[in-house]
Structure 1
């Protein structure tokens, strides 16, 4: 085994949003420097990264500069161009993790679902949509409602449109404005996620998280999930099967549906640290961000053990229109034992934009997550955005 040393290598990250910021924060204590590429000057990751290259996510010259300054490339946003990354990796010898081939699979939700179904991963019934008649046919076969999804470009619920009846099919397809697919609507007991890590020759999973979405946007994550042991084990099995399909090292956010009879179905995959894994910063022995840095560099993975039950709530923009971002009334949050504030450093707040998150961790492993959730909600409600 190669002897590892600190100060260590430089990690080049395509994307400099909040995920890049938290990745740089986690890499620094390991002696790993981070350089990010992002089109927004002074992006959220800039204050904590070694440097920022200001360029678009598909800017080949910018990514070549990033590769020249890095020992390994990774990405924190799926808008990274897989073809450019693959070409630059081949030309320069700088490895990319996860692999561009995985990013290519993830980019198109229809391709993603087909590959996973072929591998035996349980997924909801789905089909390609070429016109509104395909949506109406899906309603005939699956029942109403169905979920119409943009095949590319959607995130945080954008591009996902529930279709309640055949009469809504034309308008729904027009709103997606691009290639689409349709899925049967899953009558789930809860939404859960596994944050899984694929290392050089090892795989690790964090404890199962339970997610609460409103309008397709993640609002809360509860760990451990309020699932049975059997359902949790099934979720871990599905996550490990997913990793068999994915190519390349790193953290994968694997979103799942748990049905009332404890069946587990795959929803979507993010080949990067995920919002539903932010709780790991305080709640796990090693955060998902440290694990991602370790994994993409080919270093041994750390422990994914739960430190104590933890609840996360997102701080979303509660404004009517875009304005300068300023967070107020945080005194109570800072005074509460076990509570932690994470501010993402975004300059502007918009309606429902993710501006930060709050975690509340228990003092012992026997704490009631319901109590933690109530505390987290009260703290989140007290925080305000103001001019």
Structure 2
């Protein structure tokens, strides 16, 4: 099939920043795109060929959206899988496939999948409702502290809370959830695996993630991870096992814990481009967004090596600021060598909302990390 400057139409469910960065690549290759998102101000709106306003969890909206595209992909996994299954039955290619989405969409199902396939992960208990947890603690079935995770619809640190006392359960939604043992880890790592519809498989280098202690969001992504080579290979091996068992087409970002004794445990996965791969736009031979397009179209996969050390700094809304966004000191960070800001196009900021990211590249990792710290301390995402 001719994908370039043709009638071929790629559908993308979700019009946020990940979709916007996917569109950098489709526009580069002149691939026709149709995007659906529930927000009339979605970042993708300005860059796609056709934009549809719609709820991604609405069966009819998703089904009707997908009927006239040649291939359908996602930039967020919270979508109506039943509609995608019907589209698959009618001959529309859906990547990642619905069987993979069903495993990944629900964190409890995802964790059970790891257990069933012998994939190392933190011990956990599944609950139909959060309200059941107090009884489990009282009866000795669950020990404090633990990490509470909503089974569905968690995103960007939402739907996750560290529970150190029974009182910490107050105010949590009464939904299906898991209580996961807290892991004493050295590092949080990630590996992105790309699998093409033709069967080709590649992986990116292991990255290291530093998180904001309150928001549970990634602050820095560092590539390559500053870890022993043997540990890095173990992380890659585990990520490839996860990818093989899920059998996805497209990207799979595998988030991992490196324990104090250097074991590797799977935290969770995302079947799409991921925050841990943003550094690749400037630092890699083939960035993650181009790789995802190559994979779902069955094109040869690109080289995943890094050209230079890369660090990504997330730009999130400052605490105490809600409203029309202002990026303070943008000129100052542009004056720093090897610094590239990416602004997502969201007009309204709020505390910890992802508004953009900045990539820092350098031949020297230590120098790149110093500049990343300067960037973090310099630029501010505030409101008018």
Q: Separation in 2 of the partners of 1:158 and 1:282?
A: 28
- Give the Cα separation in 2 of the matches to 1:231 and 1:141: 33
Partner of residue 102, structure 2: 104
- Secondary structure class of the residue paired with 2:185: coil
**How far apart are 1:300 and its partner, in Å?**
1.4
Report the secondary structure of 1:273's partner residue.
Answer: coil
Trace 1:137-156 onto structure 2 (pairs within 5 A).
144-156=144-156
1:181 pairs with 161, 169, 178, which one? 178
- Cα deviation, residue 380, structure 1: 2.7
Instruction: Give, in whole Å, the separation in 2 of the partners of 1:348 and 1:261.
Output: 44
1:32 alignment partner in structure 2: 31
CA distance in 1, matches of 2:141, 2:182: 12
Which of the residues 172, 189, 192 maps onto 2:189? 192
Secondary structure of 2:273's aligned partner: coil
C-alpha contact (below 8 Å) 2:360/2:372 kept by paired residues: yes
Distance 1:51 1:319, change over 3 A: farther
Structure 2 residue matching 1:136: 3-state secondary structure: helix
Q: What SS does structure 2 have at the residue aligned with 1:315?
A: strand
Q: 1:380 aligns with which of 347, 352, 376?
A: 376
Deviations 1:31-71 (A, max 9, x none): 32222100111310111222211111023443344324421
Name the counterpart of 1:325: 325
Q: Is the 8 A contact 2:60 2:83 kept in 1?
A: no
Instruction: Give the C-alpha shift of residue 14 in structure 1.
Output: 0.4
CA contact (8 A) 1:319 1:349 kept: no
Question: So what's the TM-score if we normalise by structure 2?
Answer: 0.93
User: In the aligned structure 2, how far is the partner of 1:287 from the partner of 1:157?
Assistant: 24
Contact 1:99-1:248 within 8 A present in 2 as well: yes
User: Is 1:50–2:49 an aligned residue pair?
Assistant: yes
Q: Distance in 2 between matches of 1:141 and 1:102?
A: 31
Aligned residue for 1:347? 347
Alpha-carbon distance between aligned partners in 2 of 1:350 and 1:304, rounded to the nearest angstrom: 35
Q: CA RMSD in A?
A: 1.9
Three-state SS of the structure 2 residue aligned to 1:326 is strand
Aligned match of 2:302: 302
Alignment of 1:1-387 (within 5 A): 6-7=4-5, 9-91=8-90, 93-130=91-128, 131-133=132-134, 135-136=136-137, 144-165=144-165, 167-168=166-167, 171-172=168-169, 174-199=171-196, 200-214=198-212, 215=214, 216-362=216-362, 364=363, 367=364, 369-384=365-380, 385-387=382-384
Give 1:332 deviation, angstroms: 1.7
Segments of structure 2 that go 5 or more residues without pairing to the other structure are none
Partner SS state of residue 112, structure 1: helix
8 A contact 2:349–2:383 mirrored in 1:
no
Q: Contact between 1:279 and 1:310, CA under 8 Å: does it hold in 2?
A: yes
Contact 1:132 1:173 in 2 (8 A): no
| Runs of 5+ consecutive residues of structure 1 not aligned to the other structure | none
TM-score in terms of structure 1 length: 0.92
Q: Which moved more, 1:256-265 or 1:31-40?
A: 31-40
